[in-house]
């Protein structure tokens, strides 16, 4: 099985001091492939650069460490397909843009979405009947 790991889950999983660390340990599957996209990687850069004072080298190292510690593999997306999928789901899910992109990425990468975001989880459940 393949699992798309949402950014907040990945951060909580790796950071033992995160308030959601224990919850993330319960929701991240022990078996199967853990997949992230460029979107997750970009969000890691964004979150860490806003919350920590790091040099470029330290920022790169922290992002790479987080991905490795989370045992995740980054897979490439066709961004034209990503945006088309997101546009087709927008009116059904009513999600914010970034959440809509994560949901679309999980679909295109043929992964089950692992998230702590209830709105995103509910949207995934809402569209499950539309998925192959």
* Whether the model pTM is above 0.95: no
d(CA 100, CA 66): 23
Give the angle 100-15-3 at the CA atoms, nearest 5°. Answer: 40
**Which sequence spans correspond to the domains of the chain?**
2-114
Answer yes or no: is pLDDT of 15 > 90: yes
Task: Give the C-alpha separation, 110 to 113, whole Å.
Answer: 9
Q: What is the arithmetic mean of pLDDT over 10-38?
A: 97
The fourth-level CATH superfamily of domain 2-114 is: 5'-nuclease (3.40.50.1010)
Mean pLDDT of the chain: 95
**Which pLDDT band, with edges at 50, 70 and 90, does 129 fall under?**
low
pLDDT, one tens digit per residue, over 66-76 is 999 999 999 99
Q: Which pLDDT tens digit goes with each residue over 54-97?
A: 999 999 999 999 999 999 999 999 999 999 999 999 999 999 99
Q: How confident is the model at residue 128 (pLDDT cuts 50, 70, 90)?
A: confident
pLDDT, position 130: 60
Task: Grade residue 132 by pLDDT with cuts at 50, 70 and 90.
Answer: low
For the beta carbon of residue 8, count every other beta carbon within 10 angstroms.
18
């Amino acid at each position: 099985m393949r699992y798309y790991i949402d950014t907040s889950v990945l951060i909580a999983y790796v950071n033992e001091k995160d308030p959601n660390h224990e919850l993330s340990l319960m929701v991240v599957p022990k078996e199967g492939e853990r997949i992230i996209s460029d979107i997750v990687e970009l969000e890691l850069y964004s979150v860490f650069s806003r919350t920590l004072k790091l040099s470029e080298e330290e920022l790169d190292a922290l992002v790479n460490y987080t991905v490795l510690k989370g045992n995740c593999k980054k897979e490439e997306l066709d961004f034209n397909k990503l945006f088309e999928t997101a546009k087709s789901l927008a009116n059904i899910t009513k999600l914010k843009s970034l959440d809509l992109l994560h949901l679309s990425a999980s679909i295109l990468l043929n992964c089950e979405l692992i998230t702590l975001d209830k709105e995103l989880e509910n949207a995934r459940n809402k569209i499950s009947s539309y998925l192959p």
